[in-house]
Each structure stands twice: as C-alpha cells, then as structure tokens.
Amino acid sequence: MSRRDAILERAVEVASEEGLEGLTIGRLSSELGLSKSGLFGHFGSKEELQLAAVDAANVIFFDEVIKPTLKEPEGAPRLRAYCESWVGYLERKVFAGGCFFAAAAAEFDGRPGPVRDKLRDGQGLWLSEITKQAKLAGVKDPDQLVFEVSSLVQGANAAYQLFEDEQAFTRARQAIARLLPG
C-alpha cells in the first residue's frame, strides 16, 4: 500500500464521521505523522484530496457491496442480493460514521462543483445498475422500486446514526421484502 493509499484510508474514515469539509490538511497530516506540505504534495489542492477520498470510498463500496453479489444470476436473484448486501453494508459499519455517501451527498448537494458531480455520478451509476436488475426481474415500475429501496436504505442509515436504532436495519429489510418480486 502506497503512502497515498494510507492517507486516503484515513481520509475516508474522517470524512464519514465529520464530513468532507472536516478533512483539513493540517489535521490529517498531524494524525498521520507527516508535514502539511508533505501530505499536500500528494494531492495538490484540498478539492483534489476530497475527490480522491470519494474515489477511494467508491472502491470500498464496490468491494463490500457489489463484488460479493456478482455470483448471483442477473435479474431477480441479483436484485435481491444487491438489496441484502446494501443493508448489510450499513449493519456491518463499513465506515465509522455510517454511510460515507449519504453524509457526503447531504454535505455537497448544495455546493456545485466537481465533488458534487462525482458523488452524483457514482450514486447514479449504482442506482441505474439496480434499476437494470429490476427490469430484468420483470418489475412493473423499476424506477419506483429503486426509489423506494434507496429511500429505505438511507432511512435505516439516518435512523441508526441519529437514534442508535439497531432495529432500523430489520425494518428496512422487512419493507424491502414486501417490494421485491417473488
């Protein structure tokens, strides 16, 4: 693992807990025991550091959520696996501060620029992949189903983060089961 990767590992953790704006160069460098300018040199600007952190979080999401489901056949089984894996990713607390993407989207949805664009594109890609599986599964209104599943997953994350409500994951699973075909 390169030094850059080590920085990004810590950056993603900090950002999930305190936001992408809380990712200050001074704080991150002192936590990792290198100078500000040493860290800065790996990225060139704070915005580039934020973009790199989003890329690193996207890789983690792929490894933790998507990759383990790829053995399931496309259509209904894959759709079901995506949903279970997505809730499981929250339940396993992959990021210390809850879903990195929910936190980052809430923080940047009102700030136009490349960070917002990267977040939107990444989440858009994931939602369209679920939609594709819903279509293959013969769901009547795939966009509506994906809106509902996505809302329930986000809702479980928010309920757990604010109320420490562990039941939220079970509630999300129960609601999603009612929506899936079969």
Which of 27, 144, 166, 177 binds its own copies (CB under 8 A)? It is 144
* Site for DNA contains 3 (CB under 7 A): yes
CA dihedral of residues 54, 57, 128, 130 (deg, nearest 10): -170
Largest CA-CA distance found in the chain, in angstroms, rounded: 56
* Site for its own copies contains 41 (CB under 8 A): no
* Site for its own copies contains 65 (CB under 8 A): no
Which of 87, 119, 130, 139 binds its own copies (CB under 8 A)? It is 119
Q: How far is the CB of 175 from its own copies (least distance, A)?
A: 5
Q: Which of residues 87-116 bind its own copies (CB under 8 A)?
A: 97-98, 102-103, 105-107, 109-111, 116
Closest to DNA by CB, 27 vs 120, is 27
Q: Which of residues 7-46 bind DNA (CB under 7 A)?
A: 23-27, 33-41, 45-46
* Site for its own copies contains 159 (CB under 8 A): yes
Angle between helices 142-163 and 100-108 (to 10 degrees): 100
CA angle 113, 19, 152 (to 5 degrees): 90
CA angle 180, 120, 147 (to 5 degrees): 20
Whole-angstrom distance between the N-terminal and C-terminal Cα of the chain?
44
CA dihedral of residues 101, 102, 104, 108 (deg, nearest 10): 130
Under the rule (CB under 7 A), what is the footprint of DNA? 3, 23-27, 33-41, 45-47
